Amino acid sequence: MDDLVHPVTAEPALVDPFGRHVSYLRVSVTDRCDFRCTYCMAEHMTFLPKRDLLSLEELDRLCSAFVAKGVRKLRITGGEPLVRKNILWLFQQLSRHLGDRLDELTLTTNGSQLAKYARELKAAGVERINVSLDTLNPAKFKAITRWGDFAQVMAGIDAAEAAGLSVKLNAVALKGVNEDEIGDLLAFAHGRGFDLTLIETMPMGDIGEDRTDHYLPLSIVRARLMDRWTLEDIAFRTGGPARYVRVKETGGKIGFITPMTHNFCESCNRVRLTCTGTLYMCLGQDDAADLRMPLRASSDDAPLMDAIDEAIARKPKGHDFVIDRRTKQPAVARHMSVTGG
Ligand code: SAM
Ligand code: SF4
C-alpha cells in the first residue's frame, strides 16, 4: 500500500509520527460485565449511563471509518462484549468489510455467553477468538471472577470449538493465586489445540485493593515452566505485543505479554476505542481524542476523518507503566474494561 493514502478509499493512511502504521483497532462496546475479576474491577462498579454509549449503528460507522483509513483488523472487546444487547448485529454489519479491506474481525470474551453465540459469531465471519481463563479450579475461578461460573465458561469454550472457531486462551499471571497452575493451564490449552497467552497485571483503575500484592513478573513464570517443558524461541508474531515460544513436548505456542518488564511499544500498530467514542492512542497513557462529537456533528464523514487523523498524529512513543509503591495509585486511572485490554 502507498504510505500516504488508502488505494481504494483515497483516505490518508494512518501513520503516526514515529512511522508506525495503525492497522489494528480494538473496540470496547460496553464497560459493563457479568464478572467482577479482582484485578480488573472493584466489586461495586459505577458504570456509564446508557445514554452516553454510542449506538451500534454509530459503532459500525466509526469502525467503518477506520477500515476506510486502512485498519485491517478489528477486535471487539469490553467489559464483556457479548452482554451488550443485540451485539451480533454489529458483527454481522462489520463482516461486510471482510475479504475486502478487512483481514480479521475478532473478539475477546470471558466466555460466559459463548454457548449462546458461538455458532452465530462463526456465521458472521469470526474465525478466531480469545477467551480469558485464569484457572482450571472452579473454586478459584469463583474467587477471581467473583460472579463467574466455571462450568458455564467451559461449556462456552466447548461450543466455540464445536462451531469451528479457533480459540486462544488468555491468562493473567497472579502471584499467590494461579502461579502454581500455569503449567496445568498450558497442558490443558495445548491438549485442546489452543494457544495460550500469559499477561502481567497492569496498574489500571482503582480496584479497591493493592495490585502489587499479586504482581508476578513473567520472567519468573517462564523460568518455572522451563523446569517442566522445553521452550523454543520462534519468530512467530501476530503484530501484537506478545512474544511467542513453542513448547517442544506439545507443539503448541505460548505467548508472553510483559508490559511491566519489557516495553513493546516500538512496533505498536493499534489504537483503542471506548463505547462512548473516545479514542486512546496508547493503553498506558491518559491522552485521548473525542470522536463522538465529530461523529454526531454531521452525517458527512469528513469531520470524523479529520479528527481521526489528528488523533493519530498525537500517538505517543510508548507507555511507562509504573506502580507508585508509596501511594499505591494505579499508573492509569481508567479501568481495563474501558478500553478492553
Ligand atoms: N471481558 C472480556 C475478557 O475478560 O476477556 C474482555 C475484556 S477484558 C478487560 C480483556 C483482557 O484484559 C482479559 O484477558 C483480562 O484478563 C485482561 N485484564 C483485565 N484487567 C487487567 C489488568 N489490570 N492487567 C492485565 N490484564 C487485565
Ligand atoms: Fe469482566 Fe473481562 Fe474485566 Fe473480568 S477481565 S471483569 S471478564 S471485563
What distance in angstroms lies between residue 40's CA and the mean position of ligand 2's atoms?
A: 6
Residue 101 lies in a domain: yes
pLDDT score, position 239: 67
Domain-embedded: residue 254? no
Per-residue model confidence (pLDDT) at position 65: 97
| pLDDT value, residue 3 | 52
Distance 79 CA to ligand 2 centre (A): 6
Ligand closest to 205 (CA) is: 1
In a domain, 274, yes or no: yes
User: Which CATH number goes with the domain that contains 281?
Assistant: 3.20.20.70
| Residue 247 counted as domain residue | no
Distance between CA atoms of residues 186 and 178, nearest Å: 12
pTM of the complete model beyond 0.75? yes
pLDDT band per the 50, 70, 90 thresholds, residue 284: confident
Higher confidence at residue 341 or residue 196? 196
Residues with CB under 6 A from ligand 2: 33, 35-37, 40-41, 78-80, 110, 132, 337
The reported pLDDT for the residue numbered 1 is 42
Distance between terminal CA atoms of the chain?
28
The pLDDT confidence band at residue 2, using thresholds 50, 70 and 90, is very low
**Confidence band for 323, pLDDT divided at 50, 70 and 90:** low
Considering only residues 256 and 339, tell me which one the structure prediction assigns the higher pLDDT.
256
What is the tens place of the pLDDT at every residue in 49-83?
988 999 999 999 999 999 999 999 999 999 999 99
How much distance in Å is there from the Cα of 268 to the middle of ligand 1? 19
Q: Which of 72-76, 139-143, 202-206, 282-286 has the lowest mean pLDDT?
A: 202-206
Indicate the number of domains in the chain.
1
Domain membership flag for residue 206: no
| Smallest CA separation from ligand 2 atom 3, residue | 40
- Residues with Cβ within 8 Å of 281's Cβ and at least 6 positions away in sequence, in order, are 16, 271, 287, 288, 289, 311, 312, 314, 315, 316
For a ligand 2 pocket test, name from 32, 34, 37 the mutation site with the most ligand atoms within 8 angstroms of its C-beta: 37
Q: How many residues does the chain have?
A: 341
Plot region of 13 (φ>0 → left; ψ -120 to 50 → alpha; else → beta)? beta
Probe target for ligand 1 pocket from 76, 132, 206, with the most ligand atoms within 8 Å of CB: 132
Tell me which of 146-160, 226-240, 246-260 is least confident: 226-240
State the ligand closest to the CA atom of 204: 1
Nearest-ligand number for the alpha carbon of 173: 1
At residue 339, the pLDDT reads: 76
| pLDDT at 7 exceeding the cut of 80 | no
User: Which residues are bridge partners to 15 per DSSP?
Assistant: 21
User: Residues 28-54: what's their mean pLDDT?
Assistant: 94
Asked if residue 219 is part of any domain, the answer here is no
Ligand 2: which residue has its CA nearest to atom 8?
79
Mutate to test the pocket of ligand 2, among 145, 147, 172, 199 (most ligand atoms within 8 A of CB): 145
Answer yes or no: is 58 within a domain. yes
Q: How many A from CA of 225 to the centre of ligand 1?
A: 23
Mean pLDDT of the chain: 91
Sign of CA dihedral 140, 146, 151, 152: negative
What is the domain range of residue 313? Answer: 24-168+181-186+266-339
Per-residue pLDDT tens over the stretch 114-163: 999 999 999 999 999 999 999 999 999 999 999 999 999 999 999 999 99
Residue 277 · residue 284 · CB < 8 Å: no
The H-assigned helical ranges of the chain are 56-68, 87-94, 114-123, 138-145, 150-162, 182-191, 218-228, 292-297, 302-312, 336-339
